Amino acid sequence: MSTIRILLVDDHPIVREGYRRLLERQPGLSIVAEADTAATAYQAYKATAPDLALMDLSLPGVGGLEAIRHIRQWDKGARILVFTMHSAAAFALKAFEAGASGYVTKSSDAAELVRAVTIVARGGRALSDDVAREIAAERLGDGAALASELGPRETEILRLVASGRTTEEIAALLHLSAKTVQNYHYQIKSKIGARTDAHLVWLAMGAGLVERDSAISPIFQSF
């Protein structure tokens, strides 16, 4: 079996170091590059052409969903495994929609992560047990309907709005015009039936598209 070359993407150096040691102890796994933002992840992917990108979703500025989408636009065969603290079904579904091939939470044990790395690197799909249960539960409830209304880019813009980013900041992060961001913002509110920005974030939290801890903007606090 040839060595699986991995790009490790996480914004915390100590976390990256821990997972580097864990993965490189496994026969046939090698970390060939690291990144701490969506932009550096894209650059590192182009520079090293890894067999697999192991990607956190919580990155500064533009998040992991946008990084996945960007990498997949450049390389439609990219194999990306999300490894994140977010266990909500909506996050996993949006990651797959953006182009990920696997989704494992950081609460999973080491063996589950290593198994997922091997599966995704060889062209398969992987999902940790806790997320699989969340997806099954959501499909039986009402959350899936709202989540299905938004695409990956809309979900990323919603996340940035909820975290308190201004239209101009979002435009700069996503390399869009302010007018385009405003149009997305309006479309998002229309799609999920939000009356105000506070209501928008509230609905998104209820569907699992935005984690409560990340919704710290004055918009939400005033609801």
pLDDT values of the chain reduced to their tens digit, one per residue, 223 residues:
589 999 999 999 999 999 999 999 999 999 999 999 999 999 999 999 999 999 999 888 888 898 999 999 999 999 999 999 888 877 888 888 889 999 999 988 899 999 999 999 988 888 888 887 777 666 545 555 566 778 888 888 888 887 778 889 899 988 899 999 999 988 888 887 776 776 777 766 666 666 655 554 444 443 3
Q: Same domain, yes or no, for 98 and 149? A: no
**Strand 102-105 and strand 80-84: pairing?**
parallel
Angle between the N-to-C axes of helices 167-174 and 152-162, in degrees from 0 to 180, rounded to the nearest 10: 140
The span from the CA of 190 to the CA of 184, in Å, is: 10
Per-residue pLDDT, 130: 83
Q: Same domain, yes or no, for 60 and 164? A: no
Q: Helix (H, G, I), strand (E, B), or coil: what is residue 104?
A: strand
Q: Same domain, yes or no, for 111 and 125? A: yes
Per-residue pLDDT, 177: 92
The span from the CA of 188 to the CA of 136, in Å, is: 25
Q: Same domain, yes or no, for 118 and 212? A: no
Domain count for the chain:
2
CB of 215 within 8 A of CB of 88? no
Q: Which of 138, 153, 185 is the last residue of a domain?
A: 138
Q: Same domain, yes or no, for 109 and 16? A: yes
Q: Same domain, yes or no, for 103 and 198? A: no
β-partners of residue 103 are 82, 127
Give me the sign of the Cα torsion angle 30, 44, 40, 103.
negative
CB of 107 within 8 A of CB of 121? no
Per-residue pLDDT, 58: 87
Q: Which of 86, 109, 138 is the last residue of a domain?
A: 138
Could you tell me the CATH number of the domain that includes residue 100? 3.40.50.2300
Tell whether pTM > 0.75. no
Per-residue pLDDT, 213: 54
Q: Same domain, yes or no, for 111 and 156? A: no
In terms of residue numbers, what domain contains 179? Answer: 143-221
Q: Same domain, yes or no, for 45 and 32? A: yes
Q: Which of 118, 138, 158 is the last residue of a domain?
A: 138
Q: Same domain, yes or no, for 32 and 132? A: yes
Per-residue pLDDT, 75: 95
Q: Same domain, yes or no, for 158 and 134? A: no
Per-residue pLDDT, 166: 84
Helix (H) or strand (E) holding 192: helix 178-192
Per-residue pLDDT, 222: 37
- Classify burial at 112, counting beta carbons within 10 Å of its beta carbon; exposed 0-12, middle 13-18, buried 19 or more: middle
Q: Same domain, yes or no, for 90 and 193? A: no
Per-residue pLDDT, 124: 86
The total of other beta-carbon atoms located within 10 Å of residue 37's CB is: 17
How many Cα neighbours within 13 Å face the side chain of 67?
A: 33
Q: How many residues does the chain have?
A: 223
